[in-house]
Structure 1
Protein backbone atom coordinates (compact mmCIF):
# COMPACT_ATOMS: atom_id res chain seq x y z
CA UNK A 1 0.00 0.00 0.00
CA UNK A 2 1.12 3.48 -0.80
CA UNK A 3 1.06 4.81 2.76
CA UNK A 4 0.25 3.54 6.20
CA UNK A 5 -3.03 4.78 7.63
CA UNK A 6 -3.60 4.94 11.38
CA UNK A 7 -7.26 5.45 12.21
CA UNK A 8 -6.84 4.67 15.92
CA UNK A 9 -6.83 8.36 17.03
CA UNK A 10 -9.88 9.02 14.84
CA UNK A 11 -11.69 5.96 16.20
CA UNK A 12 -10.97 7.07 19.76
CA UNK A 13 -12.42 10.52 19.02
CA UNK A 14 -15.46 9.03 17.30
CA UNK A 15 -16.07 6.71 20.23
CA UNK A 16 -15.84 9.53 22.78
CA UNK A 17 -18.08 11.87 20.83
CA UNK A 18 -20.49 9.68 18.86
CA UNK A 19 -20.92 6.77 21.26
CA UNK A 20 -20.36 8.33 24.67
CA UNK A 21 -21.77 11.78 23.97
CA UNK A 22 -18.69 13.84 24.85
CA UNK A 23 -18.68 17.31 23.32
CA UNK A 24 -16.61 17.79 20.18
CA UNK A 25 -13.98 20.41 20.92
CA UNK A 26 -12.53 21.84 17.72
CA UNK A 27 -8.93 22.23 18.78
CA UNK A 28 -6.19 22.51 16.17
CA UNK A 29 -5.32 18.85 16.72
CA UNK A 30 -8.94 17.76 16.25
CA UNK A 31 -9.27 19.87 13.10
CA UNK A 32 -6.08 18.34 11.71
CA UNK A 33 -7.26 14.83 12.58
CA UNK A 34 -10.67 15.36 10.99
CA UNK A 35 -9.19 16.98 7.90
CA UNK A 36 -6.67 14.17 7.41
CA UNK A 37 -9.27 11.46 7.98
CA UNK A 38 -11.68 13.14 5.58
CA UNK A 39 -9.01 13.03 2.86
CA UNK A 40 -8.33 9.38 3.67
CA UNK A 41 -12.00 8.49 3.20
CA UNK A 42 -12.45 10.64 0.06
CA UNK A 43 -14.39 13.57 1.49
CA UNK A 44 -13.31 16.66 -0.39
CA UNK A 45 -15.18 19.50 1.37
CA UNK A 46 -13.87 18.97 4.90
CA UNK A 47 -12.58 22.51 5.36
CA UNK A 48 -16.04 24.02 5.00
CA UNK A 49 -17.46 21.47 7.44
CA UNK A 50 -14.81 22.38 10.01
CA UNK A 51 -16.03 25.98 10.22
CA UNK A 52 -18.80 25.04 12.66
CA UNK A 53 -19.24 22.51 15.43
CA UNK A 54 -22.32 21.13 13.71
CA UNK A 55 -20.42 20.70 10.46
CA UNK A 56 -17.47 19.09 12.25
CA UNK A 57 -19.80 16.69 14.04
CA UNK A 58 -21.41 15.76 10.74
CA UNK A 59 -17.96 15.25 9.23
CA UNK A 60 -16.93 13.04 12.15
CA UNK A 61 -20.07 10.98 11.69
CA UNK A 62 -19.63 10.61 7.92
CA UNK A 63 -15.96 9.64 8.22
CA UNK A 64 -16.87 7.07 10.85
CA UNK A 65 -19.67 5.68 8.68
CA UNK A 66 -17.39 5.35 5.66
CA UNK A 67 -14.69 3.58 7.65
CA UNK A 68 -17.13 1.18 9.29
CA UNK A 69 -19.27 0.46 6.24
CA UNK A 70 -16.27 0.05 3.95
CA UNK A 71 -14.50 -2.22 6.41
CA UNK A 72 -17.57 -4.40 6.80
CA UNK A 73 -18.15 -4.55 3.05
CA UNK A 74 -14.51 -5.43 2.31
CA UNK A 75 -14.25 -8.07 5.05
CA UNK A 76 -17.46 -9.73 3.89
CA UNK A 77 -16.26 -9.72 0.28
CA UNK A 78 -12.82 -11.06 1.22
CA UNK A 79 -14.41 -13.92 3.16
CA UNK A 80 -16.60 -14.77 0.17
CA UNK A 81 -13.64 -14.43 -2.19
CA UNK A 82 -11.59 -16.90 -0.11
CA UNK A 83 -14.49 -19.37 -0.07
CA UNK A 84 -14.78 -19.17 -3.85
CA UNK A 85 -11.02 -19.57 -4.26
CA UNK A 86 -11.03 -22.70 -2.08
CA UNK A 87 -13.52 -24.31 -4.43
CA UNK A 88 -11.63 -23.15 -7.52
CA UNK A 89 -14.33 -20.67 -8.58
CA UNK A 90 -12.05 -17.78 -9.48
CA UNK A 91 -14.67 -16.00 -11.60
CA UNK A 92 -16.91 -15.62 -8.54
CA UNK A 93 -13.91 -14.71 -6.38
CA UNK A 94 -12.97 -11.94 -8.81
CA UNK A 95 -16.58 -10.76 -8.93
CA UNK A 96 -16.57 -10.25 -5.16
CA UNK A 97 -13.73 -7.74 -5.54
CA UNK A 98 -15.38 -6.10 -8.57
CA UNK A 99 -18.52 -5.64 -6.48
CA UNK A 100 -16.50 -3.85 -3.81
CA UNK A 101 -14.82 -1.64 -6.40
CA UNK A 102 -18.20 -0.73 -7.89
CA UNK A 103 -19.42 0.90 -4.67
CA UNK A 104 -16.47 1.61 -2.38
CA UNK A 105 -15.28 5.21 -1.97
CA UNK A 106 -12.54 4.80 0.66
CA UNK A 107 -9.24 4.68 -1.26
CA UNK A 108 -7.58 2.24 1.17
CA UNK A 109 -10.38 -0.29 0.79
CA UNK A 110 -10.43 0.21 -2.99
CA UNK A 111 -6.67 -0.39 -3.10
CA UNK A 112 -6.99 -3.63 -1.12
CA UNK A 113 -9.80 -4.88 -3.37
CA UNK A 114 -7.84 -3.99 -6.50
CA UNK A 115 -4.73 -5.75 -5.19
CA UNK A 116 -6.78 -8.88 -4.53
CA UNK A 117 -8.26 -8.69 -8.01
CA UNK A 118 -4.81 -8.20 -9.55
CA UNK A 119 -3.47 -11.18 -7.59
CA UNK A 120 -6.11 -13.36 -9.24
CA UNK A 121 -5.32 -12.18 -12.77
CA UNK A 122 -3.29 -15.31 -13.55
CA UNK A 123 -5.91 -17.71 -12.21
CA UNK A 124 -8.22 -19.52 -14.66
Structure 2
Protein backbone atom coordinates (compact mmCIF):
# COMPACT_ATOMS: atom_id res chain seq x y z
CA UNK A 1 0.00 0.00 0.00
CA UNK A 2 1.18 3.52 -0.61
CA UNK A 3 2.43 5.86 2.06
CA UNK A 4 -0.46 8.29 1.58
CA UNK A 5 -0.76 8.64 5.35
CA UNK A 6 2.93 9.01 6.13
CA UNK A 7 3.02 5.56 7.67
CA UNK A 8 6.66 5.16 6.66
CA UNK A 9 7.51 7.34 9.68
CA UNK A 10 5.63 5.12 12.15
CA UNK A 11 7.11 2.00 10.57
CA UNK A 12 10.61 3.47 10.86
CA UNK A 13 9.95 4.33 14.51
CA UNK A 14 8.77 0.77 15.09
CA UNK A 15 11.87 -0.67 13.48
CA UNK A 16 14.14 1.49 15.62
CA UNK A 17 12.29 0.94 18.88
CA UNK A 18 10.56 -2.43 18.67
CA UNK A 19 13.08 -4.28 16.53
CA UNK A 20 16.29 -2.33 17.12
CA UNK A 21 15.97 -1.81 20.85
CA UNK A 22 16.36 1.97 20.74
CA UNK A 23 14.53 3.54 23.71
CA UNK A 24 11.30 5.32 22.83
CA UNK A 25 11.76 9.03 23.42
CA UNK A 26 8.39 10.72 23.75
CA UNK A 27 9.33 14.00 22.12
CA UNK A 28 6.61 16.35 20.89
CA UNK A 29 7.16 15.04 17.35
CA UNK A 30 6.90 11.40 18.41
CA UNK A 31 3.75 12.11 20.46
CA UNK A 32 2.21 13.92 17.48
CA UNK A 33 3.12 11.04 15.16
CA UNK A 34 1.63 8.45 17.52
CA UNK A 35 -1.55 10.50 18.07
CA UNK A 36 -2.07 11.16 14.37
CA UNK A 37 -1.39 7.58 13.36
CA UNK A 38 -3.62 6.21 16.11
CA UNK A 39 -6.52 8.23 14.70
CA UNK A 40 -5.77 6.99 11.19
CA UNK A 41 -6.02 3.36 12.33
CA UNK A 42 -9.25 3.82 14.31
CA UNK A 43 -7.78 4.11 17.81
CA UNK A 44 -9.71 6.75 19.72
CA UNK A 45 -7.98 9.96 20.69
CA UNK A 46 -8.87 9.34 24.33
CA UNK A 47 -7.24 5.92 24.26
CA UNK A 48 -4.15 7.26 22.52
CA UNK A 49 -3.77 10.18 24.94
CA UNK A 50 -4.13 7.80 27.87
CA UNK A 51 -1.54 5.44 26.35
CA UNK A 52 0.93 8.28 25.90
CA UNK A 53 0.88 8.98 29.64
CA UNK A 54 3.42 6.20 30.22
CA UNK A 55 6.30 4.74 28.27
CA UNK A 56 4.73 1.27 28.46
CA UNK A 57 1.46 2.64 27.15
CA UNK A 58 3.23 4.48 24.34
CA UNK A 59 5.03 1.27 23.34
CA UNK A 60 1.73 -0.61 23.32
CA UNK A 61 0.20 2.13 21.19
CA UNK A 62 3.12 1.93 18.76
CA UNK A 63 2.77 -1.86 18.53
CA UNK A 64 -0.98 -1.67 17.97
CA UNK A 65 -0.80 1.01 15.27
CA UNK A 66 1.84 -0.97 13.38
CA UNK A 67 -0.16 -4.18 13.81
CA UNK A 68 -3.28 -2.59 12.37
CA UNK A 69 -1.40 -1.11 9.44
CA UNK A 70 0.45 -4.33 8.65
CA UNK A 71 -2.41 -6.77 9.13
CA UNK A 72 -4.86 -4.55 7.29
CA UNK A 73 -2.47 -4.13 4.39
CA UNK A 74 -1.88 -7.88 4.12
CA UNK A 75 -5.59 -8.65 4.41
CA UNK A 76 -6.55 -6.10 1.76
CA UNK A 77 -3.74 -7.05 -0.62
CA UNK A 78 -4.73 -10.72 -0.43
CA UNK A 79 -8.39 -9.91 -0.93
CA UNK A 80 -7.68 -7.61 -3.88
CA UNK A 81 -5.59 -10.28 -5.56
CA UNK A 82 -8.38 -12.83 -5.15
CA UNK A 83 -10.98 -10.29 -6.24
CA UNK A 84 -9.07 -9.58 -9.45
CA UNK A 85 -8.72 -13.31 -10.11
CA UNK A 86 -12.48 -13.75 -9.75
CA UNK A 87 -13.17 -10.71 -11.93
CA UNK A 88 -10.94 -12.06 -14.70
CA UNK A 89 -12.92 -15.29 -14.50
CA UNK A 90 -16.17 -13.29 -14.76
CA UNK A 91 -17.28 -14.25 -11.22
CA UNK A 92 -18.27 -10.87 -9.83
CA UNK A 93 -20.35 -12.31 -6.99
CA UNK A 94 -17.32 -14.05 -5.50
CA UNK A 95 -15.18 -10.99 -6.23
CA UNK A 96 -17.66 -8.90 -4.22
CA UNK A 97 -17.55 -11.44 -1.39
CA UNK A 98 -13.81 -10.84 -1.06
CA UNK A 99 -14.39 -7.14 -0.39
CA UNK A 100 -17.33 -7.83 1.92
CA UNK A 101 -15.06 -10.14 3.92
CA UNK A 102 -12.52 -7.33 4.31
CA UNK A 103 -15.21 -4.90 5.42
CA UNK A 104 -16.50 -7.40 7.97
CA UNK A 105 -13.25 -7.29 9.94
CA UNK A 106 -11.19 -4.27 8.89
CA UNK A 107 -11.05 -1.26 11.21
CA UNK A 108 -8.53 0.98 9.42
CA UNK A 109 -10.62 3.58 7.55
CA UNK A 110 -8.14 3.86 4.64
CA UNK A 111 -8.34 0.12 3.95
CA UNK A 112 -12.11 0.09 4.42
CA UNK A 113 -12.41 2.91 1.89
CA UNK A 114 -10.40 0.98 -0.69
CA UNK A 115 -12.56 -2.12 -0.20
CA UNK A 116 -15.76 -0.06 -0.43
CA UNK A 117 -14.50 1.70 -3.58
CA UNK A 118 -13.90 -1.71 -5.17
CA UNK A 119 -17.44 -2.77 -4.29
CA UNK A 120 -18.84 0.46 -5.69
CA UNK A 121 -16.89 -0.10 -8.92
CA UNK A 122 -18.28 -3.61 -9.19
CA UNK A 123 -21.84 -2.35 -8.77
CA UNK A 124 -21.54 -1.22 -12.37
CA UNK A 125 -20.67 -4.77 -13.47
CA UNK A 126 -22.92 -7.83 -13.89
Give the TM-score, by structure 1 length: 0.96
2:100 alignment counterpart: 98
Secondary structure of the 2:79 match is: helix
Report what 1:20 is aligned to.
20
CA RMSD, aligned part only? 0.6
Partner of 1:62: 64
Equivalents in 2 of 1:25, 1:36: separation in Å?
Answer: 17
Partner of residue 35, structure 1: 35
Aligned residue pairs total: 121
In the alignment, structure 1 segments of 5+ residues that lack a partner are none
Given the alignment of the two structures, is residue 86 of structure 1 paired with residue 71 of structure 2, yes or no?
A: no
Three-state SS of the structure 1 residue aligned to 2:124 is coil
Stretches of structure 2 that go unaligned for 5 or more consecutive residues are: none
Distance 2:22 2:113 in 1: 34
TM-score relative to the length of structure 2: 0.94
Measure the CA separation in 2 of the matches of 1:29 and 1:6. Answer: 13
Dislocated runs of 4+, deviation >3 Å: none
Residue 21 of structure 1, CA deviation: 1.2
